[in-house]
Structure 1
């Protein structure tokens, strides 16, 4: 897996805006993510978090503003270009190949990193055979990293919900990202699965991958994030360490209710 530099700005968003007809879903959002950080993006439903994610991942062009990844302007770049540059993502609803095994799901994502080309695939020459063996080795390693090595030959639609969420993360990691976007990875998980997810995100960061996640589970957010960015009605209203943000009066008013969250 490719490693991200240990220091420096990897993502810079400036005045990012997305308008749908008469609705402004995201308005003038400016934020940065440092290499090696875990940053949480939080806020009430409809705050614009997924819209912002969609712009960062390349599935939705911004109406205005700019996105720079690793110093390069990639504003409006489509998702396959963002993937090539080192940005992978997961989705709120799991996006798997249900009739494929866990191993083949991960292998399918790892093909983006191959070099042998279609000619070698047709001829099935030595370079192709070596690369296929390497893809299998890599997929097995990622499955083990995500605690799914016991599910290698299990069909995706036969796995538990928590396992499917971890498999989607494994698929994203197979593309060798430098920045991993996780969209509500703890959704539907029980407390034990949520704690396992926290530990996995820490291991992902330890391997040199920067993480930006949208999440509603505040215990997960407080446990794993270095910084939080809070959106409300498409506008950034707070940013900072979890202990500060989760006890901010405005954040409590618009999102958390009246009970502060211990970080």
Structure 2
């Protein structure tokens, strides 16, 4: 019974951490069946996403520091979207006023929802990474992952080499999370993979509701290819490396100011 209670509380904390993403899914589903005269669907989604973000801050479900991280992911995601759409990797077939280079601005919130989840779960479950690799490994690794999303269109795809390097660099690392005062460990690589898998599930839901469209979904909806799990797995690593280092910078600045005060 104790294990079941812990599992239920863990699920509740995970669900609360996904509020941003769940509200976006609800918006996608609603906009699929409800048409607003004079307002394009993608523009409606953008308006709702902005409102959600405002309410997250207003209700203190997210802090201003977390908002800064989320905005950074907007920019990272939008740059990737602009490139991928131009390369034909996926498309946004519907019309909208808020489209730049064929990409609706609400798409940045898809990446922001991942950042929001990571920030929320970090705080709610008190994540602590043990044996975290040095910056001289994690920074180049994150850069290589991000650049490979662009370069694999005209250079060999090195994602499997990168994944091999990940197992070497993060092989000893594990993350501790806390549920009702009890601490549990999980290998860092496994945590990356699990998050990537559930994002892939979310991606299938998103494409079903027409958030975007892969070439093989132009005639009818189909499951997103399993290979996309590796893409999300790698994107999650970039996300966590960025969040971890931003938290480290803030913690370092707090320590310095504390030393000066005394």
State the TM-score bracket (shorter-chain normalisation): under 0.3
Higher share of residues assigned helix: 2
Which structure has more relative contact order (CA 8 Å, sep 6+)? It is 1
State the TM-score, normalizing by the size of structure 2.
0.26
Higher share of residues assigned strand: 1
